[in-house]
Structure 1
Amino acid sequence: MRCAFYGDDFTGATDTLATYAEAGLASALFLGVPDARRLAASGRLEVLGIAGAARALAPQAMADELAPVAAFFRTLDVPLLHYKCCSTFDSAPQVGNLAAAMAALRPAAAHPLVAILGGQPSLGRYCCFGQLFASAGAEGAVHRIDRHPTMSRHPVTPMHEADLRRHLGSQGLARIELVDWRALDDEARLDGVLDAALAQAPDAVLFDVLHERHLATLGRQLWQRAAVARLLAVGASSVAQALLAHWRASGQLAAEAPAAGIAPAEGPVFAIAGSRSPVTARQVEHAVAAYAVERVSVQRLLGARETIVEASARGLAQGRSVLVQVDPADESAASAQAVAQATAQLLAEVLQRAPAVRRVGIAGGDTSSLAARHLGVWGLEFGGRLAAGVTLVRARADAPRLDGLELMLKGGQMGPPELFLTLIDGA
């Protein structure tokens, strides 16, 4: 086994799964620490992932969630552990605290280096001199993260600080050394720069990621140092991309294979847009020709869900794809957790009444995580790539109705305008 990772929400975890699976590595994603039976059912793995919901939890709840994960990771013969966080690093001292996550997993890794990779160029995420920048939608304008039109106003974890050292410092990582892009462009001195940073005994080392070419350089550092002692890396799917780039450059992995296609959906598709992101809103606007779109208020979702279930099941029974959108303009005082939980219950109830549905789309990180857990799914397999950062997965479940169900679990910022159409038509 080359790598084990924990994704702090399901959408990001499925993207990392896709990154490894597309490279031809035997990979599986579990919705919790797997038991021996489920491990055996997954065969011989090169990459093992666990999808969780730590991004939506308070620090003590994160510690409780991650303690059994760390204990399980210690039993694996694997050189590198990856805590997969959102590519925008949206987190806060009171929820999704990345310092709390590192503290929980740190005992499972012996190497003094805790590496934080600060960007993912393939998604329009760039880290320069420790400052994080992100595009607004596919190929949109790039903004400093604290001025980003969506992430600076995130309803749960708004990003008010672009310097990742200061941002993570507010969560409890007091000593973070920076290795900036100039050292990555000069490999002859990179080892010395990193050794000097580690000599300061930091809590972590932050690496700029400004260009795709930096990934292979970072992958070499991670992999060579992980050969000495198990290493913990923190970041988006760029951690996986860095390792893959190094393995290919060093001949440890074959060249990239052509991406597999996704067949059109068999039967109607049911989709839920729980995200308030403008990117998701545009995707819903593009979907009106192919879906019966129903916009619902938070109050109706929480208090009159049965009417939404009935209308959705009726449309699906008639062979029409249905998309339920939680009104992005609704300024309800209900907690994001309560809305996500109600959305997860809505999905489970619709699926019970609509047996023809074999493909589901969910937009929203917290919504996706809670929905998949609420269904009773225990694992996910790679099904195909719908768009950059958006994966189609197949559910593994003990219930025959759910086993093999195709799921698109996407973050609010991910995907092109036509994404919900692609979910029906295939890619």
Structure 2
Amino acid sequence: MRIGVIADDFTGASDIALTLAEAGMRVCQFIGVPKNAANSDLDAGVVALKSRTAPADDAIRDSLAACDWLLAQGAEQIVFKVCSTFDSTANGNIGPVLDSLSDRLGAEGVIVCPAFPENGRSVYQGHLFVQDKLLSESGMQDHPLTPMRDADLRRVLAAQSSKPVGHVGALTVMRGAAAIRATLPMEGYAIVDAIRDEDLFEIGKAAKGALLLCGGSGIALGLPANFDIAPVEPSWSAIEGPGAVLSGSCSRATRQQVEVYKEQAPHREITASEAVNGTVNAHELAGWAMVQAVPPLIYSSAKPDVVKAAQDTFGTDRAAVAIETLFADLSAELAAKGARRIVVAGGETSGAAVKGLRAQALEIGPRLAAGVPVLCLVHAHPIALALKSGNFGDQDFFADALAKMEQSA
């Protein structure tokens, strides 16, 4: 294994796995820290954790365990994969996890860059932009679990870390890898600007031989070339059969996707009250879903004011846990009843679905949209999965993903 990735959620894991696979690497996505050794022919292993919103101590423990396993598989470089919107809070866990990983590896001058211009994420003058808006004005300021109200990544990370946080500006990045390397600090971290995908390739060159990096999936664009690996299109064998769409993301993009797909397919909305009070159950929902002629939509994607009201009524944790538990149970019921194509929107919802499916490893197929591959859960009856981060994909993503799962590539 050349590259080991520690991802703080499941959609982010499949996102960076796709980036590495399209760059020519043999990649496997693992669900949690594996108990056994990986296949020796893998170029990259991506360990998907559910740590993004976990308490810092838990996130550190799980991330260090993943790091140790990846190192035992021969990984020469570790990437701590976080969301491209750097999802955290003032007392979040990105800084503590990064501190622990850098201490474990003895890494200094660590590059930190969540940018991915193809997906509308760029870093300029140390500030994170979503399309043409500052992160703090992009809608992320209303995220129910990790509201991002400061776009200056230097301040965000410095508030969480005991190590110094520096900055490598866009003009330096545009001068190329040698200039980036020369500007990296001797200790701590460097928020590195990137406004073009070309910048990420130069950052990748600058990271050759680095023990640790931190960023979104774009940070991996230039890394495989450091190991003399050339790009190749991932293959896919068609998977046909009943399908369903599960959506728990409350992002603007997903809410639009929900509205578009509701015009095409049967749909059921799950409210926080129904999930908490148990007035809906996974067995009944799955039974309803499996008799529909078109893959149905089951969703809890609500506007920020509705989410806030539910949190005020039931408590943030209680509402979130109830909905995630329902989606986990629903995924298991759908698979047991013969579902073979499942599209999931939202990082927490994807984590719940994967848990319900008892997945341990996923094969990486071609892209469904920027940052979203089709995945195969292999067992007696393979299941095609799409684990979509809330803000990814165009308005027709749900229907397009289900269709592409049935097409070999």
User: Which TM-score applies when normalising by structure 2?
Assistant: 0.89
2:202 aligned residue (192, 217, 233): 217
- Counterpart residue number, 1:143: 133
Q: How large is the RMSD of aligned CA atoms in angstroms?
A: 2.4
- Counterpart residue number, 1:282: 256
Matched, 1:241 2:221: yes
Q: Which runs of 5+ in 1 are unaligned?
A: 136-141
- Counterpart residue number, 1:10: 10
Deviation at 1:162, TM superposition (A): 1.1
- 1:327/1:358 Cα in 2 relative to 1: closer, same or farther (>3 Å)? same
1:83 aligned residue (77, 80, 86): 80
2:60 aligned residue (53, 59, 63): 63
- Counterpart residue number, 2:348: 366
1:394 aligned residue (376, 379, 383): 376
Alignment of 1:20-419 (within 5 A): 20-36=20-36, 39=38, 42-95=39-92, 97-135=93-131, 142-148=132-138, 150-187=139-176, 190=179, 193-194=182-183, 197-198=185-186, 201=187, 203-223=188-208, 225-226=209-210, 231-244=211-224, 246-247=225-226, 252-254=228-230, 256-258=231-233, 260=235, 263=238, 266-307=240-281, 309-329=283-303, 330=306, 331-333=309-311, 334-335=314-315, 337-350=317-330, 351-352=332-333, 355-396=337-378, 400=380, 404-419=382-397
Deviation at 1:386, TM superposition (A): 0.9
C-alpha distance after superposition, 1:285-336 (max 9, x if no partner): 1112432111121111222354564144224134431211115043302455
- Counterpart residue number, 1:138: none
Once residues 117 and 355 of structure 1 are traced to their aligned partners in structure 2, the CA distance between those partners, rounded to angstroms, is 43
User: Which TM-score applies when normalising by structure 1?
Assistant: 0.86
Once residues 236 and 292 of structure 1 are traced to their aligned partners in structure 2, the CA distance between those partners, rounded to angstroms, is 34
Runs ≥4 in structure 1, deviation > 6 angstroms?
Answer: none
- 1:24/1:160 Cα in 2 relative to 1: closer, same or farther (>3 Å)? same
Once residues 158 and 105 of structure 1 are traced to their aligned partners in structure 2, the CA distance between those partners, rounded to angstroms, is 25
Once residues 327 and 178 of structure 1 are traced to their aligned partners in structure 2, the CA distance between those partners, rounded to angstroms, is 37
Aligned-residue identity in percent: 27
- 1:311/1:371 Cα in 2 relative to 1: closer, same or farther (>3 Å)? closer
Once residues 356 and 289 of structure 2 are traced to their aligned partners in structure 1, the CA distance between those partners, rounded to angstroms, is 23
Q: Is the 8 A contact 1:341 1:367 kept in 2?
A: no
Deviation at 1:50, TM superposition (A): 0.3
C-alpha distance after superposition, 1:218-264 (max 9, x if no partner): 111101x43xxxx11000011211214x44xxx9222x33565784x
Once residues 386 and 173 of structure 1 are traced to their aligned partners in structure 2, the CA distance between those partners, rounded to angstroms, is 39
Q: Counterpart of 2:205 in structure 1: which amino acid?
A: R
SS in 2 for 1:242: coil
- 1:10/1:165 Cα in 2 relative to 1: closer, same or farther (>3 Å)? same
Q: Is the 8 A contact 1:312 1:322 kept in 2?
A: no
- 1:118/1:317 Cα in 2 relative to 1: closer, same or farther (>3 Å)? closer
Deviation at 1:381, TM superposition (A): 1.1
- 1:101/1:192 Cα in 2 relative to 1: closer, same or farther (>3 Å)? closer
Q: Counterpart of 2:125 in structure 1: which amino acid?
A: F
Once residues 318 and 276 of structure 1 are traced to their aligned partners in structure 2, the CA distance between those partners, rounded to angstroms, is 25
